[in-house]
Structures are given as structure tokens and as C-alpha cells.
Structure 1
Amino acid sequence: MAKILSIQNLKKSYKSGSKDLTVLEDISFEIEEKETFAIIGPSGSGKTTLLGLCAGLDQPDSGSIELCGTFINDLNEDERALLRNQNVGFVFQDFQLIPTLTALENVAVPLELRGDKNATKIGMELLTKVGLGDRFDHYPTQLSGGEQQRVAVARAFSNRPAILFADEPTGNLDEETGQKVIDLLMELNQDAGTTLVIVTHDLELARKTQKILRLKGGRILETLKV
């Protein structure tokens, strides 16, 4: 299988007062197309920073990132945004739905912005798939946390991404609701043939993926095949 993400010798640090704080050091790994991959580690181990770098939301100090066949280090911000728009989906811990849009609009609007004439139809199909066929016209405040996350999952798959990044997707949900969202994420992922990269501190969730990368103190502790 072809690789969809290749990370080589990644380093990232931030200014903390007068000091440089190294968040990630010498990170290298590869992910293949259609693979499910978990990044785990304690708080402060650099998981979310790594996810942001992989998706081109931030730039490393050194090292290379190849995403969907493109070295994104060389791209400017607009070029990286275009690459994400065409190839990448996101699910965040805090849902990030637009409060003034209905569930259907939250899923369809990104497609409309891309000029997709079938945006509403695709949005309805995806919301039905995630069990929200009767919630099209509900606003985020009228939905439970689990329902909001399901809208976010539907939106993430709306542009048929080659790779989907999920940052603590169950972090704000109770255990039972979180389990349902994960099952859904895995099921949709399999249907769509998308590569799935999950950042989590939940070992149970990580074990549902094919490969686990364990971070500690900004370095790779181990990579496990599940």
C-alpha cells in the first residue's frame, strides 16, 4: 500500500519566556493509505502539537512532512489550506460547530463553499447515516454533546477526505456516548476507505486501531501493531 503521511526527524519548540521549550524531538513515522492509527501519551506529551503539524496547521522547526504525496514544508499558508480542503477532514474534542447554522447547514455549507451542487443531498445522507435523520433543522444548542459530535463526524466525511484527523474525539463525552461516536467513526471510515489518525489518552479507543504510536516527553516511546 502507498503511504499517505510520512514524517521524518520532526522537531518543534515554542518560546516560553526567555527559554525555548522543546515540545517534539526527532519524530519519524509513516502511515499507509486506509490505515487506522492512534497517537497516545499523557497530557503534555506533544500529541495535539504533532497532529497540527501532520495536518499542516503549524510548521515544524526542522524535519519533513509529506502529506498525500506533497511535501508541505515548502507550501505557503494558502497552499496548505487548499491541500487540507481537498484531502483532509477533522474531528475535534469541542465539536467546533457553527452555532447559527442548523445541523444540516453545518454539514452542507463546507460543500457549498467548494461549489458542490449536491451539498444538501450529501448532508442529509450523512446525517441520516450517523442517526440524525430527524435532526436536520436543529441548531447545535438543541443537540446533546453526543449528537453534536455526530454532526461533526458527518461534516468531517462530507468532502470525502483521503485522511481524517481526530483530536480527542470522545474527550467531552460520557463513556457510553463516546463509544457510540467511535463505532460510528470506524464504520464511516471503513465505508469511505479513509485513513484515520486519532489522538487520544484512551487506551481502549487506541486498541481499536491497527497501529499505536506512544509519545512521552515529546519523543516516540514505541510504535505497536495492534
Structure 2
Amino acid sequence: MGTYLKVRDFSFSYPKRDEKSGYTIHLNSLDMDPGSVLAVTGVSGCGKSTLLEGLALLRENSSFGQYYIDDKNVLSEKSEKKRLIRSALMGYMPQSGGLIPYLNIKENLKFQIDISNISKKKLNLDTEDTSVLLKRSLELFDDFGLGDVLSQYPHELSIGQRQRAVFFKSICHNPKILFIDEPTSSLDPQNGDKLISVMLEVCSKYSMCVLMVTHDLLLVRKHSLSVLDYESVDAQSGMFVYRGTV
């Protein structure tokens, strides 16, 4: 398999405040093959989450020179089709939230799968049997000790259970690209390590491209992750640079 996600010359500028210059983040180049994982690292407030949201097509004012998914030019598409691409091909695990509070966990999974399949149909992409996807998701919950939470609501779960449930919801529709924002920020080191191990195992099994924002360099080194690291350019800008493993 060749490069699945290709990005060139990404930038995002924050609005100016109090007549001061805005701040801009840059990413010159990004190429990801199926199954590859990149950790996005850098100091707090440098724009890691903004970068993730921009690449996930969640920041409308993001600028791209090129954006290709599976050799298809995403920039040539209108906003509605970009939304469908995001729903059909991408998964997103936010730093907090991510579960619909009035649905139990099984209902959360089914809703995500149904919405994604509708988008795939509108894009004329191959769809998957929703019952098969749901069955696979339920089996993953069982495999990782969460089978007994499926009938529970998000507020009834522990923090660790909730984080794992959000992760499995973000992949239940079988996305090709997964964006993860600070998954261990609310967990102790032991549970954080468990969660990262689960994520890497599952994403590798299903050959997803994974971009994960994290501040935990110990876990990055332990799991030998390649890094997209922030460096300051000047007072008004910074950029993210590929470093390989650290």
C-alpha cells in the first residue's frame, strides 16, 4: 500500500486580538501510510489540538497547499462533501466528551456506525454491514474488559472506562484515518499506558493512519512512536516538524 494521507503547506492563523498580530502554525509536509502512527508533541498552548482539528477538516479557516486522501484531491470538493468525507473516512477522539450523554454506550456505537454508513452511501463508497460493524465493536469491548458497560450511560462510567469507550466509538465505523487528542490527560500513568497499548494494538490490526496529540513523552518513547514536534519560528508563528522516533 502507498501513501494514504498526503498534506502539503498546512497553516492556521488565530484571529488578531487587541490590535496585536495573530499567531500562525505551519506544517510543511505530512505523508502517512495505512497503519502508521504519529505523536504530535510540543509545549502547552503551541497549537497541537488546533493542528489536529485542521487536519481533521474541523477548522474551516485552515489553509492547505495540497490535501489528498487515497490519491483523491479533497481541496477540490465543496464543504458538504468534505463533511461527508470526514464522517465516512475519519475518526476523532476529543480530549474530553465524545459520547452522547442521553444514549447508553451500545446506542452511542450504533449511532456512530449508522451516521458514517449514510455518508459512505452519499459518497458512493463501499459500505459495510452495520450489524457486522456493531458486532465487531461489541467484541472489542468484551476483549478489553468493557462488556459490562454497554448498557450504561456515559456518566455512570469511571474516567478510564469512559476514555476507552470514547476510543472504541471513534473507530467503530472502521475509519481510515484516526485523530486522537490527549487521550491520557485525565488518567494516571498505569491506566494511561494501558489505554495507549490498546489503541496501538487495535489501530495496527485495522491499518489506520493515526495522529495522536500527547504531552506524555515517556509513553511516546516506550512505544517507539514517531513524532511530529513543535518548534517556535518567531513571536508570531511556529511549525510542526517530523522528527522520527525520540
Task: Give the TM-score, by structure 1 length.
Answer: 0.90
Contact kept? 2:7, 2:30, Cα under 8 Å: yes
CA distance in 1, matches of 2:201, 2:242: 27
**CA deviation map 1:155-197 (0-9, x unaligned):** 1121111111111111122222211111110111122121211
Q: Which stretches of structure 1, 4 residues or longer, exceed 3 Å deviation after superposition? A: none
Structure 1: which 5+ residue stretches go unaligned?
Answer: none
**Cα contact 1:13–1:20 (8 A) shared by 2:** no
Distance 1:222 1:109 in 2: 36
Give the distance between the partners of 2:47 and 2:38, measured in 1 at CA. Answer: 16
Distance 1:130 1:90, change over 3 A: farther
Relative to 1, partners in 2 of residues 1:19 and 1:65: Cα closer, same or farther, differing over 3 Å? farther
Q: 1:62 to 1:135 in 2, by over 3 A?
A: closer
CA distance in 2, matches of 1:179, 1:156: 19
Q: Aligned pair in 2 of structure 1 residues 100, 44: CA closer, same or farther (>3 Å)?
A: same
Q: Distance in 2 between matches of 1:95 and 1:209?
A: 28
> Taking structure 1 as reference, are residues 35 and 222 closer, same or farther at Cα in structure 2, changes over 3 Å only?
closer
More strand by share: 1
The percent of aligned pairs where both chains have the same amino acid is 30
Matches of residues 209-224 of structure 1 in structure 2 within 5 Å? 209-217=224-232, 218-224=238-244
3-state secondary structure, aligned to 2:110:
helix
Deviations 1:28-75 (A, max 9, x none): 222222111111101122211111121111242353222333333333
Q: Does residue 10 of structure 1 match 2:24? A: no
TM-score (norm 2): 0.83
- CA–CA distance in structure 1, aligned partners of residues 224 and 169 of structure 2: 22
1:110 aligns with 2:112: yes
Inter-partner Cα distance in structure 1 for 2:198 and 2:130: 26
Q: What 5-or-longer segments of structure 2 have no aligned partner?
A: 119-128, 233-237
Moved more, 165-174 or 119-128: 119-128
Shift of 1:117: 4.1
Instruction: Name the CA shift for 1:225/1:21 in 2 (closer, same or farther; >3 Å).
Output: same
Are positions 1:54 and 2:68 aligned together? no
- One-letter code aligned to 2:80: D
- Partner AA of 2:105 in structure 1: A
Moved more, 6-15 or 123-132: 123-132
Report the alpha carbon displacement of residue 86 of structure 1 after superposing the two structures with TM.
1.7
Deviation at 1:112, TM superposition (A): 2.7
For structure 1, which segment, 207-216 or 31-40, has the greater mean C-alpha deviation from structure 2 after superposition?
207-216
User: 1:183 aligns to what?
Assistant: 197
Partner of 2:46: 45
Contact 1:66-1:72 at 8 Å conserved across structures: yes
Root-mean-square deviation (CA, aligned residues, Å) is 2.1
Q: Who is 2:135 aligned against?
A: 121
Aligned residue for 1:16, secondary structure, equals coil
